[in-house]
Amino acid sequence: MSNIYQRDLIISLLAKNYDTHMNIIWATIGLLLGAIGWIITSREARSYLTSPKLNKIVSLVVIIAMAIMHYYLLWQTMEYSIDLKSELIKVVGENVDVINTSEFIYLISYYMFSARAFVTFILFGFLSFLVIKGEKHITSR
């Protein structure tokens, strides 16, 4: 297999992995904002979470499971991105332009992972807070 073909294949895999990573983030943020909005705007949702207590517990278990799966998937896409960068370096050698361009566009670094995980952590935390204490802190007219 030629180096050009390998390089193009690895860069396309980096791009696909980056798309997957961003889809995970946007889908999770959309789901969390929808759930937060539902709890804030719906008296029925808040009353559902307060009686019986099992509803609140099950909701929190689901939120925690979703958070764990979310962070695991983000971590996996970051690790795969780093592995692909290593493979790209093996293929192109010292061609810094190819590495820097693909790294700048598609590489998921630890810092990007951390920033995105932090944003979703805040949303998961706020949703958990609303499930636990929402009825006491939100008043409907």
What are the pLDDT digits (tens) for 121-137? 999 999 999 998 866 66
Give this prediction's pTM. 0.84
Parse the chain into domains and list their residue ranges.
3-137
The residue type at 41: T
What are the pLDDT digits (tens) for 24-69? 999 999 999 999 999 999 888 888 887 788 888 999 999 999 999 9
- Determine whether 70 is exposed, middle or buried from the number of CB atoms within 10 Å of its CB (0-12, 13-18, 19+): buried
**Distance between CA 141 and CA 138 in Å, rounded?**
10
**Distance between CA 98 and CA 73 in Å, rounded?**
27
**Structure tokens, 126:** 């706020």
CB atoms within 10 A of CB 50: 13
